[in-house]
Structure 1
Amino acid sequence: MDRLSIIGAVLAICALMGGSVLKGAGLSGLWSPAAFVIVILGTLAAILLQTSMPTFKRAMKMARWVFQPPAHDSAAVIAQIVEWSTTARKQGLLGLEAQVKAQPDPFLRKGLQMVVDGVEPESIRQVLEIELHGHSSRDLAAAKVFEGMGIYAPTLGIIGAVLGLMAVMKNLADPSKLGSGIAAAFTATIYGIGAANLALLPIGNKLKTLVNAQTHEREMIVEGLIAIAQGENPRNIEARLNGYVH
């Protein structure tokens, strides 16, 4: 569980609700069904028009990474690769065959299987780099779904405010309705800007950071597996891979 994300989410809610209370608008001033329909549903509609269904589904699955990011332990991965290289030097590449099915990560399992099968190092690099690039591109596209929503939301908030002011203009003959009408109009702006800057854009940026970290670790794995296939010294492999961590 990512504590910083939890703290950030709580502080964002407190900032918005507390600010509304301190400014005298009250919590009720933040609720507007019309603003919700225009901004939230409008933003969802815009992103669905822009995004393919597989990318949108991937984005929804990745959303939980904000609070439960994928586990990354580069030190443990390096130790595992060094152990494999030691086994390969003592027992040959076939000595690693028992390790293949034990790997939970499909990428690592596929790479290790290619090493055990005696595939040429350059072929291993080509296959794994193509898969790595495809996986990274797919996840970055999913992360940009939230970034896109963060771009659309403020604009739809302005549209909501304009529509609200248009409704106010129709009631100019009744001054008693002007104050509440204007306040309701600007609630849509709060929805749009608040959703974008307190949720959507931060989520998009965090997901892109996590994707880049995962890609970096897998690049390290590729180098380690190729080094094993080439029969390099375990200590040299460890020194090279530590460069990715530091």
Structure 2
Amino acid sequence: MKKTDILTPIGITLGFIMIAFGIVSSGGASGFVSFMQISSVVIVLGGLTAALLINFNLDQMKLTGRVVKEAFNKNQHNIAELIHLFERLSERARREGLLALENELDNVDDPFIKKGVLLAVDGIEPEVINDIMNAEITAMDDRHQKGRAIIEKAGEYAPAWGMVGTLIGLVLMLNNLSDPATLGPNMAVALLTTFYGSLLANLVFIPMAGKLELKTEEEIFMKQIVIEGVIGVQSGQNPRILKEKLSAFLSEDMKRKQMEENEDFVGEPANEAS
């Protein structure tokens, strides 16, 4: 299940607020007017869009909206629940056989888990299951890289087009040195295009690409746990051994929390008996 990742909009908003504060504290409210330059915006955004259209094909460009939206979402990964799921599947498989696991899949939403369990139910060899599921992880990583490449390239092109605008402004300024009235506007174009390009790259595109890469790494990590769990269930591992094996993926804080929950669970009957 996906939820909104509030840190992305908070980070972008906070960045713009800090920049606005810097402008106001130095030049007052009227300072905003000095940073509003339509020609600079057109040069950066227009050049950036043109470069992306040249770099990518139409199908890839259509993914831009979906990729950007993904940076504002987060997947609900709960390793402890995943371990508990495979512990339960292992117990039922040892008690009733692998075929009984098909009934357990009605409550599982993750298609990757379903696929792995069905492969186990079909009696596929563990090595083959590992190869099939790892191939799917590799394909997913490749898809994510292609989608993320658009944002990464935007982060590269934005400052470059800011420099293009700077060169345009400087050329215009040098061609009109005899007219002092044009020096200010031309210098504004020269400096603001660099400002806009750097701002978009370092506050929006590059951090967004970094978040998308982190999300992919987290998803691959979870899928690796699934593979270990599926192979453990298929090979008939003892549920406790499988739980201990999968618990290696937990962080120290999560392990400590799990131990506290187990202690509370074990202590409840004793407390009631006393």
TM tier relative to shorter chain:
over 0.9
Other-structure match for 1:218? 223
Structure 2: gaps spanning 5 or more residues: 252-274
Of 150-159 and 44-53, deviating more is 44-53
Q: Is 1:146 matched with 2:144? A: no
Please state whether the residue corresponding to 1:69 is helix, strand or coil.
Answer: strand
In structure 2, C-alpha distance between the alignment counterparts of 1:77 and 1:56, rounded to whole Å? 35
Other-structure match for 1:19? 22
Aligned residue identity for 1:183: A
Residue 38 of structure 1, CA deviation: 1.6
Residue 208 of structure 1, CA deviation: 0.2
TM-score, with normalisation over the residues of structure 2?
0.84
In structure 2, C-alpha distance between the alignment counterparts of 1:242 and 1:142, rounded to whole Å? 32
In structure 2, C-alpha distance between the alignment counterparts of 1:214 and 1:52, rounded to whole Å? 27
Residue 79 of structure 1, CA deviation: 1.0
Residue 7 of structure 1, CA deviation: 2.6
- How many residue pairs match? The answer is 246
Please state whether the residue corresponding to 2:75 is helix, strand or coil.
Answer: coil
Q: Is 1:40 matched with 2:45? A: yes
- What is the percent sequence identity of the aligned residues? 31
Deviations 1:29-48 (A, max 9, x none): 22222222221121122223
In structure 1, C-alpha distance between the alignment counterparts of 2:220 and 2:63, rounded to whole Å? 17
Change (3 A) 1:43 1:23: same
Q: Is 1:79 matched with 2:84? A: yes
Q: Determine if contact 1:161/1:185 at 8 Å carries over to the other structure.
A: yes
Q: Is 1:5 matched with 2:20? A: no
Match of 2:186 among 181, 186, 189: 181
Change (3 A) 1:242 1:106: same
Aligned residue identity for 2:191: F
1:57-76 counterparts in 2 under 5 A? Answer: 57-76=62-81
Please state whether the residue corresponding to 1:198 is helix, strand or coil.
Answer: helix
Other-structure match for 2:105? 100
Change (3 A) 1:233 1:57: farther
Structure 1: gaps spanning 5 or more residues: none
Other-structure match for 2:264? none
Deviations 1:119-174 (A, max 9, x none): 11111111111011100121123223212111111111000111122222333222
Q: Is 1:133 matched with 2:150? A: no
Deviations 1:20-76 (A, max 9, x none): 233327112222222222211211222232234444444431322333212211111
In structure 2, C-alpha distance between the alignment counterparts of 1:234 and 1:90, rounded to whole Å? 11
Q: Determine if contact 1:82/1:238 at 8 Å carries over to the other structure.
A: yes
Of 132-141 and 219-228, deviating more is 132-141
Other-structure match for 1:240? 245
In structure 2, C-alpha distance between the alignment counterparts of 1:87 and 1:28, rounded to whole Å? 69
Match of 1:50 among 6, 30, 55: 55
In structure 2, C-alpha distance between the alignment counterparts of 1:141 and 1:224, rounded to whole Å? 29
Q: Determine if contact 1:58/1:139 at 8 Å carries over to the other structure.
A: no
In structure 1, C-alpha distance between the alignment counterparts of 2:115 and 2:106, rounded to whole Å? 10
Indicate the structure (1 or 2) with the bigger Cα radius of gyration.
2
In structure 2, C-alpha distance between the alignment counterparts of 1:78 and 1:58, rounded to whole Å? 34
TM-score, with normalisation over the residues of structure 1?
0.92
Match of 1:169 among 168, 174, 177: 174
Please state whether the residue corresponding to 1:165 is helix, strand or coil.
Answer: helix
In structure 2, C-alpha distance between the alignment counterparts of 1:157 and 1:137, rounded to whole Å? 31
In structure 1, C-alpha distance between the alignment counterparts of 2:228 and 2:101, rounded to whole Å? 17
Aligned residue identity for 1:194: L
